[in-house]
Structure 1
Amino acid sequence: MKKLTVYCGSNKGKDKKYASAALKLAEEMAKRELDLVYGAGNVGLMGVIADQMLQSGRKVFGIIPQKLVDIEVAHTGCTELTVVETMRDRKWLMAERGDGFIAMPGGIGTFEELFEIMTLNQLAYISKPLALYNVNGYYDKLIDFLNHSVNEGFLHQSQLQVLIISDDPVQLLDKMEAFQPKKMDKKEIDKWEVK
């Protein structure tokens, strides 16, 4: 891994633990000489992690639609700022440029990005590590729901097992670095069908 795509909120959340965790993740990424790919915002947790990565001397690749540039939320200090036309273009470039993905606490946009990467991995369009940075138990209820989906037969256990979950950035990155890409074949896809 050389570059990680990090999805996170354009707000900082009510608890200061979220911003603190973003700083810790950035510091650990910098120690491992990893660069950041993200949505190019200068606000919320997006701004926190980008600023810390830049301060640590790492490269920050921001990708943002023109519409958001127009309302002045683009981080102009990015090492490289790519302005695209649509949110779809933004998401695809972020998926393409990252060697792995981390979903930090965030809102509906972060949820959408998380599930899109889960889907792309599941269908073998990509094969890259995906992690939930479960700061302050933020994703506990989502994890419960995903397990519920397994229990109800809409998600296969093997699809859920590839999701790396931790509240510790060291452990999170260790597990991502140990990730082994899985080759998908028809037999594997057939196993997902609930009989």
Structure 2
Amino acid sequence: MAAIGVFCASSQRLDRRWLDLAHEVGLEIGRRGHELVSGGGCVGMMGAVADGTRDGGGRTYGVIPQSLVDLEVADTKSDELVVTDGMASRKTLMIEKADAFVVLPGGLGTLDELFEVWTTAMLDLHRKPVLLFDADGFYAGLLDWLRGLTTQEFVRPSALSMLLVSRDVSESLDLLEASLLGGTVGPS
């Protein structure tokens, strides 16, 4: 069993398809016997992935800052809910706790989390796989921009190649599991 950290949108105004996607990812995490490490919220895609994990029989570990607990958006159904003093400590604890990461569609906070876990992996501060879930080409523009940074030599090709990309839920978990078993993550 692995602890899978999922970064995603917590907006409550999302189209139903994004909530359904998050729930499906959570179901797959739970069905495969993994634990979810989430941002500890009960709203948006964050809440849907946690509910999906529990629906699939998995355990959930949430990390949430006190300020969001005060707004009453904490996932009180979480098997374990850790309250931190702020967003930075939340992210640090999630990175420490997770064995691998899935980045679902999201906004600025999700992008911040993506770049933090990916950069720290590239710097060999951890060897945890990072998967970008490119549902319906959500991240296509970002991936094109990153490829352009590589050709301009702002980003090393080895850094870009270590980012796993998938558009399929089952394939995403297969890639993470293979990376965890094979130890193939890390700079080359």
Q: TM-score, normalised by structure 2?
A: 0.93
Match of 1:41, SS state, is coil
- Cα deviation for residue 177 of structure 1 reads 1.4
Alignment correspondent of 2:46: 46
Q: Does 1:129 align with 2:129?
A: yes
Identical aligned residues as a percent: 38
Match of 2:4, SS state, is strand
Aligned residues of 2:30 and 2:52 also touching (Cα < 8 A):
no
Match of 1:136, SS state, is helix
Alignment of 1:36-185 (within 5 A): 36-179=36-179, 180-182=183-185
Aligned residues of 1:36 and 1:50 also touching (Cα < 8 A):
yes
C-alpha RMSD of matched pairs (Å): 1.5
Mark the runs of 5 or more structure 1 residues left unpaired by the alignment. 189-195
Distance in 1 between the 2:85 and 2:184 partners? 31
Match of 1:37, SS state, is strand
Alignment correspondent of 1:33: 33
Distance in 2 between the 1:120 and 1:106 partners? 20
Distance in 2 between the 1:182 and 1:57 partners? 28
- Cα deviation for residue 174 of structure 1 reads 1.0
Alignment correspondent of 2:5: 5
Write out per-residue CA displacement over residues 38-69 of structure 1, whole angstroms, 9 at most, x where no aligned residue.
Answer: 10111100011111212222111000111111
Highest Rg: 1 or 2? 1
- Cα deviation for residue 143 of structure 1 reads 0.5
Counting matched residue pairs gives 185
- Cα deviation for residue 89 of structure 1 reads 0.8
Aligned residues of 1:18 and 1:136 also touching (Cα < 8 A):
no
Whichever residue aligns with residue 176 of structure 2, its letter is M
- Cα deviation for residue 117 of structure 1 reads 0.5
Distance in 1 between the 2:33 and 2:17 partners? 24
- Cα deviation for residue 11 of structure 1 reads 1.7
- Cα deviation for residue 150 of structure 1 reads 0.5
Cα–Cα, structure 1 residues 29 and 182, in superposed 2: closer, same or farther, change >3 Å? closer
Bigger shift: residues 22-31 or 61-70? 22-31
Distance in 1 between the 2:186 and 2:14 partners? 41
- Cα deviation for residue 182 of structure 1 reads 4.8
Q: TM-score, normalised by structure 1?
A: 0.90
Aligned residues of 2:30 and 2:54 also touching (Cα < 8 A):
no
Cα–Cα, structure 1 residues 157 and 12, in superposed 2: closer, same or farther, change >3 Å? farther
Q: Which runs of 4+ in 1 moved over 3 A?
A: 12-15, 181-184
Distance in 1 between the 2:24 and 2:133 partners? 11
- Cα deviation for residue 15 of structure 1 reads 3.4
Distance in 2 between the 1:26 and 1:173 partners? 11
Match of 2:120, SS state, is helix
Mark the runs of 5 or more structure 2 residues left unpaired by the alignment. none
